[in-house]
Amino acid sequence: MNNKKCYITTPIYYPNAKPHVGTLYSTLIADVVARWHRLMGEDVRFVTGTDEHGQKIQEKAESLGLAPQAFVDSIVPAFKDMWNKYEISFDTFIRTTDTAHEQAVTAWIKKLQEQGDIYKSTYSGWYCVPCETFVNVGSDPIKNEQGQYLCPTCNRSLKEIEEESYFFRLSAYEDKLLKFYEEHPDFVTPRERLHEVVAFVKAGLKDLSISRKTVSWGIPFPGDPSHTVYVWADALNNYLSAVGYGQTSPEAQAEFAKWWPADVQVMAKDIVRFHAIYWPAFLMAAGLPLPKKLLVHGYVLTGQQKMSKSLGNAYDPGQLAEWYGVEQVRYYLMRQIPISQDGHFDLKDLEERINADLANNLGNLLNRTLTLALNNGLSTVNSPATYEATSAALRERCEEAYRLYWEEMNKGYFHIGLAGLWQFISEVNAYFHAQQPWVLAKKNPELFAEVIAAVCHSLNAIATMLWPIMPSKMTSLLASLGKRLELGTNYEPILRENAWTQSFTLTKQDEPLFVRPETHVLVEEQPVAPVSAPAQPAVPEIGIEDFAKVQLVVGTILSCEPVKGSEKLYKLQVDLGKLGMRQILSGVAQRLKPEDLIGKQEVFVANLKPRKMMGLESHGMMLLADNGEYLRPIVVDGKIDNGSTVK
Ligand code: ME8
């Protein structure tokens, strides 16, 4: 055991829908970090949970005719079950509706009130319900076709609000924050993300509204129960309340003293501002130390878009686990997506990685070694006193592989660490082939035993290093070598020193470690009902003769490019079959990418009078489905003649 402690957190997720691959990704990173530190014999506390208050949850529950508490109670088990399925080794699952959490938030606000950090005023401006954020629309707001303001983060409609509110004196912390960033350049990892934060703070911080008068689903604001605590002020405190903050018992106070400050806080880039600006300021105000590191990752993308429940492009991790196995998916996510960038989630890549990396490279190596050794009567493998040159070289590579892996894992660059480790696995395979142990078994049993010992030592180190990524698979790999991880042991010096002096007891595997997956195709899940679809204006009824005046035809979009000088417009060239080629302008550039449209067969209004926009003629109009949150082309199946009438 080493004497260090390590406190790791994930964001607490909104239980407005079930977990998806994006939320799994964050939680998995935190799990790998937690297991990595456990492997070093540290005392680890890993917290995840759900963010259950606020307007978004209140509106979603109302839309389903449920009380908010009943609604969140119905969703939270899906998170716990999914994390258990994916072997997420959390120690605490915090819910912001837990009494202890509510007490902690109340204690924190009272402290701020006492020291004059909170005052009452009026908030007047824009609010994004899906992001639960007050938005400064600035001088160049993003608008949709109906002129509604859109959220710069999620692109959905903003609501205008004007209400009495309690404010936190965030502006008073501007200089202290800047000084903190300067003194702690690794507070945010990767560092580039810190530059964005510094720029934001330097542009000037406004005081932050931390209460809502028109939202009833929240913690009552201390001293004024006609307000509730703003959901982010409530949620960020989970990191404190989960380890005993706000409780008076000596046990809780000792717990808090032991764990706080957090060592690693994992999140995606969408919520860095909350964690790197508001959160440290809240802690400074409470007189508490600041977290040591925010580990910020990019988005898991489907196509070009962030994978998200409300966009309807989120994949169910339960389905993936069924098709491919939990640990294969864990490996793929950690190996494929660079932590510092957005990464594409793609089934073909996933299948390829399972085949090439897991089944071929690692699984076969284990299988061939065990089969060959056991078939030649070698079940107890002892290390030789000295190794031949080639085996000694492999041992050096094993040490080096560990050093590189250790460095990258500590930095949070898991994909680089794994790429390096797979390079080593390939080298162990190459060594195995070059030594031809199947020939040695008969000709030179001593050297045969040495080669098997060298491969077993390599596999032992590989499985130990990979345990945080694939805990069950690596436990069974180790078991087939007669080994077991002893948690509480510090494996850092063991791996570093890499003494190839152990003996192994080999056992035949009941089944191969990894099997080649079948090919699957993902069908997108149905999007959840929009959380805040704007009310549709009443549309007067029309007769069939009115409808007949509209000429709807099928056409193929041959090209789509942005119109210079316009943020909104695309210029499309459309093949309308017998009606000819048309240039049609469409104001969807902020909501759709050209690749969403190019090559698609779509429905167009063909008899719209031509009109000029930005000096360009537009003759016709493209039809799109808009639910207020996302826009989709009405795609025809591609097999209808262009120019066909739609009626
Ligand atoms: O923001 N790719 O909750 P949330 C990668 N309750 N990560 C993704 C992702 C994607 N496509 N989609 C979601 C909230 N995530 C607040 C947090 S914390 C005090 C309060 C992950 O349910 C990622 O970690 O919207 C992101 O930051 C988080 O889910 C947002 O989860």
What would the pLDDT profile of 604-626 be if each residue is shown by its tens digit? 999 998 888 888 889 999 998 87
Nearest alpha-carbon partner for 457 in 420, 497, 407, 489: 497
Quote the CA–CA distance of 108 and 278 in Å, as a whole number. 14
Give the Cβ contact number of residue 361 at 10 Å: 16
User: What residues have CB less than 8 Å from 18, skipping those under 6 apart?
Assistant: 75, 78, 79, 82, 309, 316
In the predicted model, is pLDDT for residue 537 greater than 50? no
User: What residues have CB less than 8 Å from 287, skipping those under 6 apart?
Assistant: none
pLDDT of residue 615: 82
In the predicted model, is pLDDT for residue 435 greater than 50? yes
Quote the CA–CA distance of 205 and 198 in Å, as a whole number. 11
262 found inside a domain: yes
Alpha helices by DSSP H, listed for 514-615, are 544-547, 594-597
Same domain, 272 and 355: no
Same domain, 392 and 498: yes
Give residue-wise pLDDT tens across range 231-271: 999 999 999 999 999 999 999 999 999 999 999 999 999 99
539 found inside a domain: no
Cα(443) to ligand 1 centroid in Å equals 60
Tell me the CA distances in angstroms from 75 to 13, 68, 83, one per residue in order.
11, 11, 13
Beta-bridge mates of residue 98 = none
pLDDT of residue 44: 98
Last residue of a domain, one of 476, 505, 534: 505
638 found inside a domain: no
Query: Cα dihedral sign for 106, 107, 110, 112?
Result: negative
Cα(296) to ligand 1 centroid in Å equals 11
**Closest C-alpha to ligand 1, atom 21:** 23
Which atom of ligand 1 is closest in space to residue 50's alpha carbon? 6
**Closest C-alpha to ligand 1, atom 10:** 22
pLDDT of residue 1: 59
Cα(590) to ligand 1 centroid in Å equals 22
The angle formed by the CA atoms of residues 372, 373 and 379, to the nearest 5 degrees, is 150
Cα(545) to ligand 1 centroid in Å equals 50
Helix axis angle, 414-435 to 326-336, nearest 10°: 110
Cα(215) to ligand 1 centroid in Å equals 22
Task: Report the run of H or E that residue 589 belongs to, with start and end.
Answer: none
If pLDDT is split at 50, 70 and 90, which confidence band does 310 have? low
Cα(354) to ligand 1 centroid in Å equals 27
**Closest C-alpha to ligand 1, atom 18:** 11
530 found inside a domain: no
In the predicted model, is pLDDT for residue 28 greater than 90? yes
Last residue of a domain, one of 480, 505, 530: 505
Query: Which is more confident, 392 or 152?
Result: 392
Cα(441) to ligand 1 centroid in Å equals 55
Query: Cα dihedral sign for 207, 209, 210, 211?
Result: positive
Q: What is the DSSP letter of 391?
A: H
Which atom of ligand 1 is closest in space to residue 271's alpha carbon? 27
**Closest C-alpha to ligand 1, atom 4:** 13
Give the Cβ contact number of residue 403 at 10 Å: 13
In the predicted model, is pLDDT for residue 32 greater than 90? yes
pLDDT of residue 284: 97
Same domain, 317 and 367: no
Residue 78 Ramachandran class (φ > 0 left, ψ -120 to 50 alpha, else beta): alpha
Give residue-wise pLDDT tens across range 389-398: 999 999 999 9
Same domain, 245 and 196: yes
Contact call for residues 209 and 167 (beta carbons, < 8 A)? yes
Same domain, 239 and 371: no
Cα(11) to ligand 1 centroid in Å equals 6
512 found inside a domain: no
Same domain, 465 and 404: yes
Domain CATH number, residue 122: 3.40.50.620
pLDDT of residue 205: 95
Contact call for residues 556 and 600 (beta carbons, < 8 A)? yes
645 found inside a domain: no
Q: What is the mean pLDDT of the chain?
A: 92
Mean pLDDT across the stretch 175-180?
98
Cα(535) to ligand 1 centroid in Å equals 27
Cα(542) to ligand 1 centroid in Å equals 44
Quote the CA–CA distance of 394 and 431 in Å, as a whole number. 8
Mutate which of 24, 271, 336 for ligand 1 pocket (most atoms within 8 A of beta carbon):
271
Mean pLDDT across the stretch 415-424?
97
Cα(117) to ligand 1 centroid in Å equals 29
Which of 293-297, 345-349, 521-525, 616-620 is predicted with the least confidence, judged by mean pLDDT? Answer: 521-525
Domain count, the chain: 3
**Closest C-alpha to ligand 1, atom 16:** 13
SS3 of residue 185 by DSSP:
coil
Quote the CA–CA distance of 13 and 11 in Å, as a whole number. 6
SS3 of residue 341 by DSSP:
coil
Counted residue by residue, the chain has a size of 647
pLDDT of residue 534: 38
Cα(100) to ligand 1 centroid in Å equals 23
Structure tokens at 473: 């698979």
Give the Cβ contact number of residue 195 at 10 Å: 12
pLDDT of residue 530: 36
Helix axis angle, 445-466 to 389-411, nearest 10°: 0
Structure tokens at 348: 């073909």
pLDDT of residue 558: 87
Contact call for residues 412 and 295 (beta carbons, < 8 A)? yes
**Domain span including residue 410:** 347-505
Domain CATH number, residue 418: 1.10.730.10
If pLDDT is split at 50, 70 and 90, which confidence band does 212 have? very high
Which atom of ligand 1 is closest in space to residue 26's alpha carbon? 24
Alpha helices by DSSP H, listed for 86-225, are 99-114, 174-183, 191-202
Query: Which is more confident, 528 or 522?
Result: 522
Same domain, 118 and 175: yes
Structure tokens at 496: 């570093």
Query: Cα dihedral sign for 296, 297, 298, 301?
Result: negative
Quote the CA–CA distance of 58 and 52 in Å, as a whole number. 9
**Closest C-alpha to ligand 1, atom 29:** 23
Same domain, 474 and 623: no
Mutate which of 14, 26, 48, 295 for ligand 1 pocket (most atoms within 8 A of beta carbon):
26
Same domain, 62 and 12: yes
pLDDT of residue 629: 67
Same domain, 319 and 360: no
Contact call for residues 189 and 296 (beta carbons, < 8 A)? yes
**Closest C-alpha to ligand 1, atom 3:** 13
Quote the CA–CA distance of 182 and 184 in Å, as a whole number. 6
pLDDT of residue 89: 98
Mean pLDDT across the stretch 425-439?
97
The residue with tokens 């997420």 is: 88
Contact call for residues 104 and 240 (beta carbons, < 8 A)? yes
Last residue of a domain, one of 478, 505, 532: 505
Cα(533) to ligand 1 centroid in Å equals 21
> Cα Rg for the chain, rounded, in angstroms?
29
Which atom of ligand 1 is closest in space to residue 51's alpha carbon? 6
Which atom of ligand 1 is closest in space to residue 279's alpha carbon? 19
Mutate which of 12, 18, 23 for ligand 1 pocket (most atoms within 8 A of beta carbon):
23
400 found inside a domain: yes
Structure tokens at 616: 């360009």
Same domain, 316 and 358: no
**Ligand 1 shell residues, CB under 6 Å:** 11-14, 22-23, 25-26, 51, 235-236, 238, 267-268, 270-271, 299-300, 306-308
Quote the CA–CA distance of 596 and 631 in Å, as a whole number. 10
Give residue-wise pLDDT tens across range 361-389: 999 999 999 999 999 999 999 999 999 99
Same domain, 262 and 387: no
538 found inside a domain: no
If pLDDT is split at 50, 70 and 90, which confidence band does 521 have? confident
Quote the CA–CA distance of 69 and 85 in Å, as a whole number. 25
